[in-house]
Structure 1
Amino acid sequence: MEINFIALLASAVVTLAVGFIWYHPKVFGTIWMKEAGLTPESSEKGNMLKIFGLTYLFSLMMTIVLMGLTIHQSGALGMIGGPPMIESAKPSFAAFMTDYGTAYRTFKHGALHGFMSGLFFAFPMVAINSLFENKSWKYIFINAGYWIVTLALMGGIICGFA
């Protein structure tokens, strides 16, 4: 199973691209800023290079986990000890990969798993933190919705093209 690292690098950009649209003032940005207790002036005080750079780094970290969730053949590879062990794997591994090496390797399949990761993993995390921060349900749904859409797109790119 070969990995397309360009697809992984590209999928990490999705967090920034979706965020640019999702949090735009004409979409959810104005409501989100109000619910977060921010103003346009206060949000401009942040170090954008640091924020965008770390966002991309953290997004790359997420691609590693999403790859395991969306590409089911990763589990088969893990069973033999990872890529270094492919040459010494039993013939049954090669037969399995021949038969199923590209099964469910589509954008649609990855998007489904990304969506489920957003709904059943990111949404509860956002909700828990936001409840303890006394944030509104609007705030929770805006942020959780962003992660659900973002993870669905990332999962689709990773599974379909990585």
Structure 2
Amino acid sequence: MEAYFNPIAMLVAAFSALVVGFIWYNPKVFGNAWIKSAGLSETELKGGNMVKIFGLALLFAFMLSSALPGIVIHQAGALSLVGGDPTKALPSYDVFISDYANAFRTFKHGALHGVLTGIFVVLPILGTNALFERKGAKYIFINSGYWIVTLAIMGGIICVWK
């Protein structure tokens, strides 16, 4: 189980969300467009408690990264089929895992599942919220784009790290 749920990989993936955010929301990238589409001002942004904001952002990113192994590592699905305890599995489980232990354990494959998670989970959630908040398409695409890229990187890290 430890091979699929690696807390160090999850922590690195969580930090990657902050790194991507520093780049994505930089004024030279999408920062200025995001500020305008969110209806915020520079003054409002500077008035926040940055320790609280970044601390909670890191916590939330870690929570998200802890959900990703079940999405990006197929072997975790096989583990769930035996109730999470391989010692209680049928002998066929050990044969299956020995044959497929490293199948699809690449950065590219994890990134693919991260992108799909971003498109089919995050985009609809953020899009729905934004519609009710009366935000425009630019707001939806900037924020969803960030999460699609971030989940791709997080998924790649978690999938490849054994």
TM-score category, normalised to shorter length: over 0.9
1:1-162 matches, cutoff 5 A: 1=1, 2=3, 3-82=5-84, 85-162=85-162
- Structure 1 unpaired stretches of 5+: none
Query: RMSD over aligned Cα, in angstroms?
Result: 1.1
Shift of 1:35: 1.0
Shift of 1:39: 1.2
Q: Deviations over 1:107-162 (max 9, x none)?
A: 00000000001111111111111111111111111111111101111111110114
How far off is 1:90 after superposition? Answer: 2.0
TM-score (norm 1): 0.94
C-alpha distance in 1 between matches for 2:104 and 2:160: 9
Secondary structure at 2:103 match in 1:
coil
Q: d(CA) in 2 for partners of 1:59 and 1:53?
A: 10
Cα distance in 2 between the residues matched to 1:29 and 1:51: 17
Please report how far the alpha carbon of residue 88 of structure 1 lies from its aligned counterpart in structure 2 after TM superposition.
3.0
Measured in 2, the distance between the counterparts of 1:125 and 1:86 equals 35
Size of the alignment, in residue pairs? 160
2:86 and 2:123 map into 1 onto residues whose CA distance is: 37
Q: One-letter code of the match for 1:118?
A: G
Determine the C-alpha separation between the residues in 2 that align with 1:111 and 1:140.
21
Q: What does the per-residue CA deviation read over 1:65-120, in whole Å, with 9 as the maximum and x for residues that have no partner?
A: 211000011111111111xx222322111111100111100000000000001111
SS in 2 for 1:59: helix
- What is the one-letter code of the residue matched to 1:54? L
Runs (5+) with no aligned partner, structure 2:
none
Distance in 2 between residues matched to 1:76 and 1:136, nearest whole Å:
41
CA distance in 2, matches of 1:107, 1:69: 13
SS at match of 2:89: coil
**Partners of 1:71 and 1:35 in 2: CA distance:** 36
